[in-house]
Amino acid sequence: MVDMLKRTNHAGDREVKRQKGGSPDQNGAESQKKKFTHEDYTVAWVCPLEIELTAALQMLDEEHEPLPQPPTDHNIYHLGSIASYKVVIAGLWQAGNNPATAVVTQMRIRFPNLRFALLVGIGGGVPTITDNGMLRLGHVVVSKPVGPFSGAIQYNHGKARDGVFERTGALAPPPTVLLLAAQALAVQLARSDEDLIMKNVQRIDTSKPQLRRFKFPGVENDKLFPADYKHLCPGLSCEESGCDMAQCIKREIGELDQLIVVHRGTVASGELVLRDSALRDQLAKEYGVLCFEREAAGAMADFHCLVIRGISHYCDSHNNDQWHGFAAAAAAAYARQLFFHMPIDEVKLQTIIPGTDPGFKMLVQRSHDHERQQMASWLCSTDYASQQSANLRERQDGTGQWIFEADEFRQWEREKGVLFCPGIPGAGKTILTSIVVDYLRKKHGPNNVVGLAYIFCNFQQQQNQKLDIILANILGQLVRGLYHIPEQIQAFYDTYQRNGMQPELGDVLEMLGVVLGLYSHVYMMIDALDECSVSDETRNHLISHILDLQQHFNISFMATARFIPAIILQFENFPSVEIRASDADVKRYVESNLPSIVRRKTEIQNLVISEIIKKAGGMFSLARLYLNSLKGKCSITAIKKALNKFKTGSEVYEHAYEKAMKQIQQQIGDRAELAKRALAWLTFAERTLTLMELQHALAVVIGESSFDEENLPDMEEIISSCSGLITYNEENHIMRLVHYTTREYLEKTWTSWFPNAHCAIGEVCVTYLCYDDFEAGRCEAESWLYHARKQPLNHSLIGKLLMSDGKFDAWVQALKEETTLLHLVVGLGLEGEAETLLKIGHQVNATDRLLHTPLKIAVEKGHERLEKLLLRYGVRPAPDIFTAASIGDESSVKYFLGLGVDVNLKDKYGWTSLFHAVQEGHEGVVRLLVDAGASTDHKNASYGLTPLCLAAKNGHQAVVRLLLNEGAKPDLPDESGNTPLMHASVEGHSEVVCLLLKAGAQKDWISKNTTLVCVGRNVGEGTPLEVAVENNKKAVIRNRLAHSADPNLYVRRSPSS
């Protein structure tokens, strides 16, 4: 300690000289920056936030030239020196433990002689009393071992939010050299007549506009409210939100309150910002915590660190940014002062010699692992691993082993190929897929030579199961299994992820080719292909792409599905094994799940087991339903009666589900209503729901202005009341219906069980949005609109939301749409509310984000009474005639024409209403417009097409006939010289070709241009017959020759064609 104090005195002398000299910026001119090597830097300084980084850079004595770094290291390093120490300062791309881990790991790899780090920034303080007095805003907290704690503890924020402090990691204490330096600095501060830390803060010139945020806000702005007094309006200051300042706790202002006081003790590190004062006080009392922050656990996982935090808030709901700047400056100022109390020789002695640290190679590998996991997580937007774990928990031990004995499976496992595994509903296809995944994973282990990827398709997650998303997930799973990341994959990741872009399908396929080439064998499994989207061809394209990849790589592809003819046809040339629950597997399952009364009565066990096996017919899900129906039976007679009611055949599911629903209805108390509401939510919610989301939905009381936490239903009550029809995934906390047949049944019969489901769900969403402390997201914002279109909601409840400016604005912000109240009211068909808005002056011609007017929406929705209402209030109908024509709304088109809208009015693309009607083939609207005087030979601004060209190109035979009958010229070309006959020939519309030829179209018209503009293809010049030959349009060729087209007419091609 004596040696330490001697060195400290010398350090103090150095600081006096340094303070007199000032920083380069303060002296008005910056000397030329020096350049050193990576090995010269010994101290790391990590700043989570930009404001903290700005303060840190102001503390340097001098800044150094940057050093080169590889493209895989995305950190930005600021190099410089304080006293005699060379310092590396780095920020984080976002706050939190994981980014801190990544940055510190990269720093240690890039600068191998770093001995320790200072984690410097702002944090939330506990308003407690320490040896240095009351902890207040603007003070500094420094980590220090106290009692059983090392100075920093890690806790689970999710558990803390539930009132339970769960420590999740033991963090290493700061190195001795930093603890001694902090102690020496504390002694100096106690003996000094001036505030040395404030003197460092003054290095930041707050007279500059860009640095004013670092000013001391003043003790009068240090407001502390009682733990039970909540902030009124999130996002606003206390003054703006109207918080009662009389509630502030009165604290005496002493002499120390004008100084930056340093408190040393325990810092708690979690994943999120703590904003609960009651929880803050509870945790502080139990563990002696002085400060809460977010990065220490990540930075200290593998590196010695000292945590230095300027206090910017009190971890309560009144948190705001007012103290952020000064708190960041105070922390940085303390860190600077600490350098003048570090013994230089001791730091040098502790310097790591590159390559001699036994953990260095492990650290490098851990960095690669972290990068690989980040990349895989970005690609895998859906976490199928948690579903895999949940599936295995549902598996009955010993079941599913029959698949491994099948010759088809053994061949599939040995060599590349396809194995199709169809099965009836409830046969256990998904569980068997998980059994195969588990088998392959255990057999091959963490093998970088054999790859494994699997997808569980789900009808409720089709938004997350588009083609590009599924293939990206497969890519991510394969990337996770690699030992090293190829440069192409790294460049792909950098291009898209760093720019916040979703990868394009073509690039995903290209990267799959790169990764697949690194494995000797890859197993791909797609479960439940029948639940994969067919509307956008995702299923067909997914199968096609995997089979294409299989032509080039050693892939064993396995797929399961119900017996859907279209799917069976796609796999008809490949080996197949039907998935069907064997009697032995069903027996194992039933034996393990028998009701207690059956287990106690051995004489009836065999009867129950044999009856369920017989009636289940190879369906696990039926066996589960039958077992559930026996629960609650209190006698052998009741058991036998239930067995006699078990059915078989095509209606077995309906019977089982109907029986389960009747059981639910017979429950006493509120359980029946609780179950039906839960089932309604899980059936009709537009996406999967977590347990907490479902609990909140069930707890909402329609019309209330605030949420009652005590009304949350218990998880066990929800599950047990639903008689086995719902299940809970502990991995991802998802609540779902037990099987997709459950959803199919409830969607078909919902009017019998919960006839007002959409109305009830919509009104819950609206009530939630109307809460005083509304913080809902896009889900609630969109959901009520969806359900309101299914069933009418309570108008007064909707009015409460829509007619309150504050609520409406908050809702629209969550919806993330640019729209007006009138647009929404018209879209919902609320005539009375629309008239009210128009009377108080809402703009009748306003446009939304898509430039749609309220009238256009009324036309699209078919709200004729609202159309007339809007027109009465002076709407300009001209643009909306295009919409009416496009959707084939004859009555609206006629109505607009009657108002005097010019029939030949053009939109911004030069299209008249006739073009819009012709494009979609609406013959009735076309006739209406032509009768009203629409020009049949007008050319639009898009390639100079005529209505006849457009109709011929799209193959609208009836419209072509109508236009020709009305005098449209059959040979009037577009601006490229292509006639309607040319367009019809290119597209192969033989019937249209016939019509045009009969109308006198020239048989051998030659296109003068080198390019025929048609669906983006470069056709080149030529006759209609040549074009048809080029495009292999046999029917067109026959028609042309039948009408005496000259087959010998030859058109000389230009070199570019």
pLDDT of residue 19 exceeding 50: no
pLDDT of residue 440 exceeding 90: yes
pLDDT tens digits, 105-162: 778 888 888 888 899 999 999 998 898 888 999 999 999 988 777 788 877 644 444 4
Measured in whole angstroms, how far is the alpha carbon of residue 744 from the centre of its chain? 27
Amino acid type, 711: N
Q: CATH 3.40.50.300 region(s) of the chain? A: 363-570
Q: How many CB atoms lie within 10 A of CB 150?
A: 16
CATH code of the region 363-570: 3.40.50.300
d(CA 246, CA 267): 31
Instruction: Tell which CATH classification among 3.40.50.1580, 3.60.15.10, 3.40.50.1820, 3.30.420.130 matches the domain 2-16+39-357.
Output: 3.40.50.1580
877 or 317, higher pLDDT: 317
pLDDT of residue 1033 exceeding 70: no
Query: For 981-1003, what is the mean pLDDT?
Result: 84
Q: Which residue has the tokens 């059983």?
A: 148
pLDDT of residue 319 exceeding 50: yes
Can you read off the two tokens belonging to residue 274?
Answer: 């703590």
pLDDT tens digits, 867-895: 888 877 776 666 678 888 888 888 778 87
pLDDT of residue 341 exceeding 70: yes
Q: How confident is the model at residue 1056 (pLDDT cuts 50, 70, 90)?
A: very low
The H or E element containing residue 609 is: helix 602-616
Residue 32 DSSP class: P
Ramachandran region, residue 522 (left: φ > 0; alpha: ψ -120 to 50; beta: rest): beta
pLDDT of residue 805 exceeding 80: no
Q: What percent of the chain has pLDDT over 70?
A: 76
Pairing of strands 305-313, 417-422: unpaired
Specify the range with the lowest mean pLDDT, choosing from 342-351, 645-654, 969-978, 1043-1052.
Answer: 1043-1052
Report pLDDT for 814.
45
Report pLDDT for 273.
67
Q: CATH 1.25.40.20 region(s) of the chain? A: 936-1042
Q: How confident is the model at residue 1003 (pLDDT cuts 50, 70, 90)?
A: low
Spatial CA neighbour of 227 closest among 314, 338, 328, 290: 314
Spatial CA neighbour of 452 closest among 430, 490, 480: 480
Query: For 223-243, what is the mean pLDDT?
Result: 72
Amino acid type, 708: D
d(CA 1057, CA 1054): 6
Measured in whole angstroms, how far is the alpha carbon of residue 819 from the centre of its chain? 24
Spatial contact of 428 and 618, defined as CB atoms under 8 Å apart: no
pTM of the shown model: 0.42
Report pLDDT for 355.
40
Query: For 407-426, what is the mean pLDDT?
Result: 90
d(CA 261, CA 266): 16
Spatial CA neighbour of 33 closest among 24, 46, 21, 42: 24
Q: How many CB atoms lie within 10 A of CB 255?
A: 6
Ramachandran region, residue 163 (left: φ > 0; alpha: ψ -120 to 50; beta: rest): left
E runs forming strands in 432-561? 450-456, 521-527, 555-561
Amino acid type, 177: V
pLDDT tens digits, 832-858: 777 877 887 777 777 776 667 787 778
d(CA 77, CA 276): 35
d(CA 52, CA 91): 8
Specify the range with the lowest mean pLDDT, choosing from 59-73, 220-234, 545-559, 710-724.
Answer: 220-234
pLDDT of residue 23 exceeding 90: no
Amino acid type, 444: H
Q: CATH 3.40.50.1580 region(s) of the chain? A: 2-16+39-357
d(CA 392, CA 437): 10
Q: How many CB atoms lie within 10 A of CB 762?
A: 26
Report pLDDT for 1043.
44
d(CA 117, CA 111): 12
Report pLDDT for 315.
84
Q: For the range 847-855, what are the long-range contacts, defined as Cβ-Cβ under 8 Å and sequence gap of 24 or more?
A: 848/817, 848/818, 848/819, 848/820, 848/823, 849/817, 849/818, 849/819, 852/823, 853/879, 853/880, 854/820, 854/822, 854/823, 854/826, 855/880
pLDDT of residue 239 exceeding 70: yes
323 or 987, higher pLDDT: 323
Amino acid type, 199: K
Residue 259 DSSP class: S
pLDDT of residue 800 exceeding 90: no
pLDDT of residue 482 exceeding 90: no
Cα Rg of the chain (Å, integer): 36
Q: How confident is the model at residue 169 (pLDDT cuts 50, 70, 90)?
A: low
d(CA 245, CA 239): 8
d(CA 432, CA 579): 8
22-54 burial, b for 16+ CB within 10 Å, e for fewer?
Answer: ebbeeeeeeeeeeeeebeebbbbbbbbbebbbb
Report pLDDT for 66.
92
E runs forming strands in 657-791? 689-690, 726-729, 734-737
Query: For 706-720, what is the mean pLDDT?
Result: 84
pLDDT tens digits, 640-678: 877 776 655 445 667 667 777 887 887 877 888 899 989
Instruction: State the average pLDDT for the chain.
Output: 77
pLDDT of residue 1039 exceeding 70: no
Would you say domain 936-1042 falls under CATH 1.10.3720.10?
no
